[in-house]
Structure 1
Amino acid sequence: MDEIINKLIKKYKTNSPFELSEALGIHIRFMNLGQSTKGLYYRKLRRRFIVIHNELPLEWQRFVCAHELGHDRLHKGINRFFLEENSYFSPGKLERQANLFAVKLLSSGSSPEQEEPLLSYYLRIGIPPEVIFFLDE
């Protein structure tokens, strides 16, 4: 996973999931996905799409884009939905991998200050603090 992320950042000179998706030819759409879905990734007729719930705060839109980009890079050929953490959906291995991909991508090039709590670090670099719970599952 680290190698995939490092190659992307080196090649495209950014860790922005929106810029990377565009460079990779992935179409990004925003629409109302209801209360339980934050985003989804799918392929149709050789075209790839990331759909992000349009009512999410910007930090969440960025995280969801990175998460869905993780599915594109790690789980080729599988359509995935990023469901609300409070739903009855138990994220499996693929969801945990996409969450970790998103955190690693978004935090690339930065690190916590000495003795900085993880929550403060995530807030400082624009990662939703709730993500901490995703990584422990």
Structure 2
Amino acid sequence: MEEIIQRLIKRHHTNCPFRLAQELGIHIRYHDLGEQTRGIYYRKLRRRFIVIHDKLTDEWKRFVCAHELGHDRLHKGISRFFLEEHTFFNPGKFERQANVFAVRLLTAGDHPEPGETVEQLCARNGIPEEMRHYYGT
């Protein structure tokens, strides 16, 4: 995972998930996805899409974009909906991996300053509080 992230950053000169998605040809859309869904990644006719819940804060939109970008880079060809409806495989593993990817991407190249906690580092990098425990995973 770390190698994938470093290659992305080196090639595109950014760790901004929105710019990375644009440069990778992934279309970003915003829609009301309801109470339970923050984002969706899907492919249709060889086009890739990230749909982000339009009612989220900017911090969450950035994190969700990074998370869905993780699905694009780590889980090619795997549909969560297929896993849930047609297999006994637990999609939670893929969600955890995408969360770790998002945290590592958003904190890439940054380290805690002397006396700074991991929570402060994550806050400084715009990681939502609920996702900070994925740092160092």
Q: Which has the higher helix share?
A: 2
Aligned length: 129
Consecutive unaligned residues in structure 2, runs of 5 or more: 82-89
Distance 1:99 1:7, change over 3 A: same
Q: TM-score, length-normalised on structure 1?
A: 0.87
Determine what percentage of the aligned residue pairs are the same residue: 61
Distance 1:6 1:14, change over 3 A: same
Aligned partners of 2:10 and 2:135: how far apart in 1? Answer: 25
Consecutive unaligned residues in structure 1, runs of 5 or more: 82-89
Off by >3 Å, runs of 4+ in structure 1 = 133-137
The answer to whether 1:126 aligns with 2:126 is yes
How many Å apart are 1:91 and its aligned residue?
Answer: 6.2
1:70 corresponds to which residue? 70
How many Å apart are 1:13 and its aligned residue?
Answer: 0.3
How many Å apart are 1:135 and its aligned residue?
Answer: 6.4
Residues 49-128 of structure 1: pairs in structure 2 closer than 5 A = 49-80=49-80, 92-128=92-128
Q: Larger Cα Rg: Structure 1 or Structure 2? A: 2
Contact 1:42 1:80 in 2 (8 A): no
Q: Which has the higher strand share?
A: 1
Q: TM-score, length-normalised on structure 2?
A: 0.87
How many Å apart are 1:63 and its aligned residue?
Answer: 0.3
1:3 corresponds to which residue? 3
Q: Secondary structure at the match of 1:48?
A: strand
